[in-house]
Structure 1
Amino acid sequence: MKKKGIDITVEGSGNVGAMNTYEVSKSKLIGFIVFVVDFLKGLLSVLLIKWLYSPEFIFPALALLFAVFSHCFNPWINFKGGRGLATAAGGSIILVPYLLFGWILIWVISFIYKKDILLSNILATPLSLMLVLGKPDLAAKYALNQPDVNLLILFSTSGLIIIFIKHIEPLKEIIQTYKSRGMKK
C-alpha cells in the first residue's frame, strides 16, 4: 500500500484488515492477500501452541484470543487494527469449527437477504454465539479435545466480544443510515 501512497490506517474506516484494504486499494488481490495473512495469523497461533506447548483446549484458545485482540488493538499502530474476523476464522477452523461454520451460515443467509457485508458481520457475530450457548454440548463435541462446556462458552464469548467491540462504529453507521432513510432499526 505504501507504493500506491495509501495509508489504510487513515483511509476508509482506518482498519488494517482485509475489508478496508480492499475498499481503499480497490484491489481484490491485495484484499485477498491481507485476508490470507490475517487468517494464517489465527490458524498458526492455534497450531503452534497446540504442537509446541499443549494440545489442551485452554492453551490454543488463549493463543487465539491474544491473536484476535492484538490484531484488533495492535500496539505498534497506536492500538488500531482490523476487526478480527479473518484472524478468528483462522484459529476457529481448528479450535471450534461449530462456531465458525455457524457464523458462516448466518453470514451467508444475511448477505443473501441484505447484500451488506458489515451488517452480515454484525448479525453473524452475536447470533453464532447464540448457537454455542444454545447447543454447548454439540459445540464442545466438535471442538479441539472436547473441552469443558463452561470453558468453551467463556472462550467463545470473550472472542466474540472483542470482535463485536470493533463493529460498534459500523453498527452505529448502519442504524444512522436506516434512520435517515426513514426506516426503523
Structure 2
Amino acid sequence: MRLFRVVPKSVSPFERFVRAMALVAVVAGVVWAFEARFSRLADRYAAEETISDETRSLSDADRGELLRTAEDLKARFGLELVVRVFRAAVVVPELNEKTVFIGISTEGKTAKVVLPPLAAQALGPDFVGVLERDVLAASLATAQWQKGLRAAVDFLEQELSGLDAGEKK
C-alpha cells in the first residue's frame, strides 16, 4: 500500500500531466498573491519611514507629492528624504551621510533641516537657514506649514537641480 500515491496508475499520461500543471499553477498563484500582498506592505512601510506625521494633518495629496519628490531625490542625487512632523519639540533621528532631514514642530512653531555634508557644502552655508527661517518658519507663523513643507522640499530639489545643471553657488 502506498500512502503518497496522488494519481492512480490507471489514468492516462496526458491526464497526469494536466493534473501536475494544474498543481503548479495553483502553487504559482499562491506565491504571486503573497508577493503582491507583501510588496504593498513594504511600500506602505517605506512611505511611513519617509514621512511621519504625528498630527495627521498632511493630506494624501501632500503626502504623495512629498513621496514623489523623495523618489526623485533618491533617483537623481542618491539622497534619502526624511520628513517628520511633531506636535512638540523636533527630535532629529540618527542620520547617515546621504539623508536629508526636515522636521517641523507645529505647536512649538520651529523647524529643523539637516543636510548631508556634501549637499550642505554644495548648497552653501546659509541654505539651511533660508529653508528654516524663510520658508518653514514663515509658513508655521501663518499656520500653513503643509504648503511650506512642500515648498521647502521643492526648493531643495530645484537648488540641487541647478547645481546638477552646472550653476555655481
Shorter-chain TM-score bucket reads 0.3 to 0.5
Structure having the higher Rg: 2
Length-normalised TM-score, structure 1? 0.30
Structure with the higher helix share, 1 or 2: 1
Length-normalised TM-score, structure 2? 0.33
Structure having greater relative contact order (Cα 8 Å, sep ≥ 6): 1
